[in-house]
Amino acid sequence: MYYGLWPTAWGWVAAAASGEGLICLILPQETREQAAELAKTRGYGGLEENAAYFTSLFVQVEAYFAGTARAVEFPLDLSALTTFQREVLAAVRAIPYGEVRSYKWVAECIRRPRACRAVGQALRNNPVPVVVPCHRVVGEGGELGGFAWGEGYKRRLLALEGYGPAFTAVP
């Protein structure tokens, strides 16, 4: 297992991966040290640093935060998650850039229409934000809903993708 750190227009990102794929992505932090510390607090501090392993990921992440890429594609290893969490993340990964969907929409996609709150909890624990764009999930009435990185970060990501501040009802 490896981890790596990389600068972007928004700050330093950190990533951790198994031999199967990405297991964690830390959204940009002001300093390299902050990104590394967050990776450590999530259990990835004892890994071997190998930024070269993540070159294709980091180039895409850097382009995303510069506003020149619409998706980040990298193999994922979500084996530590429950089946339910993996189903939620798979549905959310399909939400197009610049669009949002409701928690209810996600619940219906995974054929569990009453599981809106559980969907929110699964997204709160999304280990690979941006790769799985959980920031694109909002309340049915257009309210932001939660985001593990804070409401300000969620607004900023949505603005980067061109989704305006005036939220309206969403699918």
Residue-level length of the chain: 171
Residue type, 20: E
Cβ-Cβ contacts under 8 Å for 120 (sequence gap 6 or more): 103, 137, 145, 146
Say whether 134 is catalytic: yes
What whole-number distance in Å separates Cα of residue 90 and Cα of residue 84?
10
For residue 74, what are its two tokens?
């990298």
Among residues 24, 109, 116, 134, the one annotated as catalytic is: 134
Beta-strand (E) ranges in 122-163? 137-138
What whole-number distance in Å separates Cα of residue 141 and Cα of residue 38?
33
Q: Which residues are tagged catalytic?
A: 134
